[in-house]
Structure 1
Amino acid sequence: MKKTLLAAAVMAASGVAFAASNVTLYGIIEEGVIVQKAKHGDNKVELNSGFGQGSRWGIKGVEDLGNGYNVGFVLEQGFNADNGNEATSGKAFNRESFLYVKGGFGSFGFGRTGALSFAQTQAILTGWAFGTSYGASSWQSAIANNFSRMDNVLSYATPVFDGFSGHVMYSNGLTSDSAKWSDNNHYYGIGIKYQANAIKSSLIFEAADNKGTATDATTYGDVISQNQYAAANGWTAPLTTAQKEEYKNWAKTEIGAGEAAKKPIYVINYGLEYNLGSWTPMFAYQFAHQNNGRRTHMFGLSATAQLGGGKAMFGGRYVFGKDNATKVGANKVNVDGDVRAWTIGAAYEYPLSKRTAVKAYAGYADASKEWKEVEDVAYNGYQVYLGLRHAF
Structure 2
Amino acid sequence: MKKSIALWMLLGTASGLAYGQGSVTLYGIIDEGFNYNSNADGHRLYNLSSGVLQGSRWGLRGKEDLGGGLATVFVLESGFDVNTGKLGQGGLLFGRQAYVGLSSPYGTATAGRQYDSVVDYLGQFEVGDQWGGYIAAHPSDNDNFNNTNRTNNAIKYTSPSLAGFTFGGVYALGGVAGSVGRNQIWSLGARYTNGPLAAGVGYLNVRNPNTSFYGGGGTVAPVTGGVPGSNFGASPVISGYASARSLQVIGTGAAYTFGAATFGATYSNTQFRNLGDRTSGPVPAGGIAGTATFNNVEVNFKYQITPAWLAGAAYVYTKNNGAGGSSGAKYNQGSVGTDYFLSKRTDVYLVVTYQKASGTDSTGKEAVASINQLTASTSNHQTAVRIAIRHKF
> Scaled by the length of structure 2, what TM-score is found?
0.77
Structure 2 counterparts to residues 179-258 of structure 1, below 5 A:
179-182=177-180, 184-210=182-208, 217-220=210-213, 223=214, 243=223, 247-249=227-229
Equivalent in the alignment of 1:376? 370
The question of 1:94 aligning with 2:106 is answered no
Inter-partner Cα distance in structure 1 for 2:135 and 2:226:
25
Contact 2:176–2:183, Cα closer than 8 Å, also in 1: no
Q: CA deviation at 1:287?
A: 0.7
The verdict on how the C-alpha distance between 1:39 and 1:75 changes in structure 2, with shifts beyond 3 A counting, is: closer
The verdict on how the C-alpha distance between 1:262 and 1:219 changes in structure 2, with shifts beyond 3 A counting, is: farther
| Aligned structure 1 segments of 4 or more residues deviating by more than 6 angstroms | 18-21
Alignment counterpart, residue 357 of structure 1, candidates 330, 347, 360:
347
The verdict on how the C-alpha distance between 1:278 and 1:92 changes in structure 2, with shifts beyond 3 A counting, is: same
Amino acid in structure 2 at the alignment position of 1:386: I
Inter-partner Cα distance in structure 2 for 1:39 and 1:101:
46
Inter-partner Cα distance in structure 1 for 2:201 and 2:358:
29
Identical aligned pairs, as a percentage?
25
Amino acid in structure 2 at the alignment position of 1:367: A
The verdict on how the C-alpha distance between 1:320 and 1:361 changes in structure 2, with shifts beyond 3 A counting, is: same
Structure 2 counterparts to residues 96-115 of structure 1, below 5 A:
96-115=97-116
Inter-partner Cα distance in structure 1 for 2:128 and 2:247:
24
Contact 1:126–1:273, Cα closer than 8 Å, also in 2: no
Equivalent in the alignment of 1:329? none
Q: Which structure has greater strand proportion? A: 2
Equivalent in the alignment of 2:4? 4
Equivalent in the alignment of 1:231? none
Equivalent in the alignment of 1:136? 135
What per-residue deviation string (whole Å, max 9, x for no partner) do you get for residues 225-245 of structure 1? x89xxxxxxxxxxx9965379
Secondary structure, aligned partner of 1:381: strand
What per-residue deviation string (whole Å, max 9, x for no partner) do you get for residues 246-286 of structure 1? 733579xxxxxx99723222111101011223121001000
Structure 2 counterparts to residues 307-318 of structure 1, below 5 A:
307-308=305-306, 309-318=308-317
The verdict on how the C-alpha distance between 1:350 and 1:124 changes in structure 2, with shifts beyond 3 A counting, is: same
The verdict on how the C-alpha distance between 1:21 and 1:362 changes in structure 2, with shifts beyond 3 A counting, is: same
The verdict on how the C-alpha distance between 1:249 and 1:153 changes in structure 2, with shifts beyond 3 A counting, is: closer
Amino acid in structure 2 at the alignment position of 1:262: A
The question of 1:41 aligning with 2:42 is answered yes
Equivalent in the alignment of 2:246? 264
Amino acid in structure 2 at the alignment position of 1:376: S
Structure 2 counterparts to residues 18-33 of structure 1, below 5 A:
22-33=23-34
Which sections of structure 2, spanning at least 5 residues, go unmatched? 10-18, 232-239, 274-289, 373-379
The question of 1:320 aligning with 2:301 is answered no
Inter-partner Cα distance in structure 2 for 1:249 and 1:240:
6
Q: CA deviation at 1:67?
A: 1.4
Equivalent pairs counted in the alignment come to: 341
Contact 1:39–1:377, Cα closer than 8 Å, also in 2: no
The verdict on how the C-alpha distance between 1:345 and 1:160 changes in structure 2, with shifts beyond 3 A counting, is: same
Q: CA deviation at 1:90?
A: 4.4
Inter-partner Cα distance in structure 2 for 1:340 and 1:202:
26
What per-residue deviation string (whole Å, max 9, x for no partner) do you get for residues 128-155 of structure 1? 232286233114x416333621110010
Amino acid in structure 2 at the alignment position of 1:28: I
Q: Which structure has greater helix proportion? A: 1
Which sections of structure 1, spanning at least 5 residues, go unmatched? 12-17, 212-216, 228-238, 252-257, 326-334
Secondary structure, aligned partner of 1:125: helix
Of 239-248 and 284-293, the range deviating more from structure 2? 239-248
Contact 1:269–1:287, Cα closer than 8 Å, also in 2: yes
Inter-partner Cα distance in structure 2 for 1:137 and 1:180:
41
Inter-partner Cα distance in structure 2 for 1:96 and 1:285:
26
Contact 2:223–2:230, Cα closer than 8 Å, also in 1: no
Q: CA deviation at 1:353?
A: 1.4
Amino acid in structure 1 at the alignment position of 2:64: E
Q: CA deviation at 1:55?
A: 0.4
